[in-house]
Structure 1
Amino acid sequence: MANSRLFIRQYKLSLTVIAINLGCIAGLSLSVEHSINSKIPLPINEEKYQQNQPQNIPKFKVEIPQQQQKANQKLVGKLVQEEAKSLNFSVPLQFQGKTIREVKIKSEQKVIALTFDDGPWQNTTVQVLDILKQETIKATFFVVGKSIKNHPHIIKQVVADGHAIGNHTWSHQYHQYSSAHAAREFNQTADLIYKLTGVKTSLFRPPAGILNNGLVSYAHQQKYAVIMWSVDSKDWRSRHITVQGLIDSTLKAAQPGGIVLMHDGGGDRSKTVEALPKLIAELKKQGYQFVTVPELLEMEANENKRLHVTP
């Protein structure tokens, strides 16, 4: 099994290297582009946010030959298809219809899961993906349907890079939901994720961590695993927290089996992007390995199976 996984990772790496080389040949240049309650501020509309940014930054347009564009799109599509096969995760029975804040790891492994909410966003999600790729870390992204619709190429890249996907509703609203409205929020998002990436996700995180407005009740009925968090980076307080404060908040609460809440969309996440490499470096110094939420759930499920097997 280990050899098989190694072969798959090497195959994916080869495809990624090919994609990078193709991009270089074409002269590609990437553009520069909660606590668990309702105190977390509403996410900012991305279009309005971008309009409020400085307008005097020079913009560069790189003309890519149409044939090269098609070749790049085809390669990314192949990567997405390959990753989708491994990312169609079936939640272990013990977690279906349950709310999870952390995973109890009984072994000596120091593992932790980074999660990112409210994306994809044009600038910050791409920057986060670049950092994770450089650090060879897989994370879990809880995506908003409207944002996926606006940035289909980014959600495809998230999957092509091997990250796990969770449902974070279509519109990221905090109000009370009827069963029919909750179903629309779930299904619209789930259908678009599948249409664009081939991934069928059974992970859900409610906006702002609100548990009593109808969304979590619907998620439980549909056997979703509702994934909360045990480590709040507090990056949602973007105007009131420093980069070092973000790092300190995370390190203070980190523990094996922990789930870290961060954001790649919904507002100004420049501090998250700046803090992420430093945070990863410090967690690595402490001996942590990084896993996705599905991997974390599988670890606990497998440990429970071993404990209940009699010789």
Structure 2
Amino acid sequence: MKKQIKVRKVKNKPFRITKFFWLGVAALVMIVGIGMIIPFKPSANTLELAVNASSLKTIDTKGQIEGFKTQMLDSWQEEAKLKGILEIPKRYQGMTLNAVKPNNKDKIIALTFDDGPWPKYTEQVLDILKTNNVKGTFFVIGNNMKNLPVVGKRIVTDGHTIANHTWHHWYHRLNPSVAAKEINDTEEIIYKVTGVRTNLFRPPGGVLGNGPAAYARSKKYSVIMWSADSNDYKRPAASRLIGNVMRFSKPGGIVLMHDGGGVRDSTVKALPEMIKKFKQQGYRFVTIPEMLELEDQQLAIASK
């Protein structure tokens, strides 16, 4: 006989809201309210993370600004290159010059350098000029520009004037087509390397009658000679080189030196002392275009 199991029914008791329940609700509301009123105080680690994130954002913003500046500068330089013709006053175009008329109130002198760019020496000359805050004019050989484009470009980026000195530096008589090619090819390599063009020309050795100078004048180049020859191509002692220059220099003068074409140790050694002597005598240094512009202004005033 099976034992009968009795199931005891449990009655559901109704939920009774007591005073303890209401106290709990009130406490929870107070905690939430206080949390909303009192600002959260982050831990040191949290602060560090926030600062780092802020710094990264600032660095990123600065990087974007610098990138934008660089982009604008590159754009400006490209535009300048397209327009980059070193114009000189019209009165000097197609003329041969070895100096300008002196102005006693403004003692100016132009330092010019031939036959570069050249290994070692051109950069040494550029370093000296930069240290002394002096700008010069460099008459470059086209073939040398082709071989040393980085040095040739530095001439322009350092703020100096670059000018045409033929492709091969030949002295002998050239027929018209060869003379034209010597100058045109050099003009193109100057533009290709530096982004600027020039209408200043100096004939190799100062020879005016062998073809290139005549072609240059026909193309409105100013043929620039000199008034004070350093004779540095003879490799004199530095003291003698300085004496050669100072003896023949006058306001409005053009000094001939060489940064290329051979050993130029004397030129490099003499240049700082030469600059010092000119400054002591009250001279200031200008490029050839600046010199011609200054004289052009004086002549314009005098003609009024």
Shorter-chain TM-score bucket reads 0.7 to 0.9
Match of 2:220 in 1: 223
Aligned to 1:176: 173
Q: Name which one, 1 or 2, has greater alpha-carbon Rg.
A: 2
Q: Report the residue type matching 1:253 in the other structure.
A: F
SS of 1:306's equivalent?
helix
Which residue number in structure 1 is paired with residue 183 of structure 2?
A: 186
Q: What is residue 248 of structure 2 aligned with on the other side? A: 253
Query: CA separation of 1:81/1:127 partners in 2, compared to 1, >3 Å: closer, same or farther?
Result: farther
1:114 aligns with 2:111: yes
C-alpha contact (below 8 Å) 1:80/1:159 kept by paired residues:
no
- Equivalent position amino acid for 2:108 in 1: V
Quote the offset at 1:198 in angstroms: 1.2
Identity %: 49
Which residue type is aligned with residue 228 of structure 1?
A: M
Residues 8-47 of structure 1: CA deviation (Å, up to 9, x unaligned): xxxxxxxxxxxxxxxxxxxxxxxxxxxxxxxxxxxxxxxx
Letter in 1 for 2:137: T
1:287 aligned residue (282, 290, 294) = 282
CA change 1:137–1:120 in 2 (3 A) is: same
Report the equivalent of 2:102.
105
TM-score, normalized by length of structure 1? 0.72
Q: CA deviation at 1:89?
A: 1.8
**Amino acid corresponding to residue 187 of structure 1 in structure 2:** N
Structure 1 segments unaligned to the other structure (5+ residues): 1-73
1:276 has 2:276 as partner: no
Structure 1's consecutive aligned runs of 4 or more residues displaced over 6 angstroms after TM superposition are 76-80
- Give the helix-richer structure, 1 or 2: 2
Distance 1:196 1:77 in 2: 16
TM-score calculated relative to the size of structure 2 = 0.73
Whether 1:144 and 2:148 are equivalent positions in the alignment is: no
The partner residue of 2:299 within 286, 295, 304 is 304
Whichever residue aligns with residue 123 of structure 2, its letter is V
RMSD between superposed Cα atoms in Å: 2.1
Whether contact under 8 Å (2:110, 2:285) holds in the other structure is yes
Letter in 2 for 1:97: G
Aligned length: 234
Unaligned runs of 5+ in 2: 1-70
For residue 296 of structure 1, give the secondary structure of its aligned residue in structure 2. helix
How much has 1:106 moved relative to structure 2?
Answer: 3.3
Deviation digits for residues 272-302 of structure 1 (CA, Å, limit 9, x no counterpart): 0000001000111011100000000001111
Confirm or deny: 8 A CA contact 2:231 2:244 kept in the other structure: yes
Distance in 1, Cα, partners of 2:271 & 2:79: 27
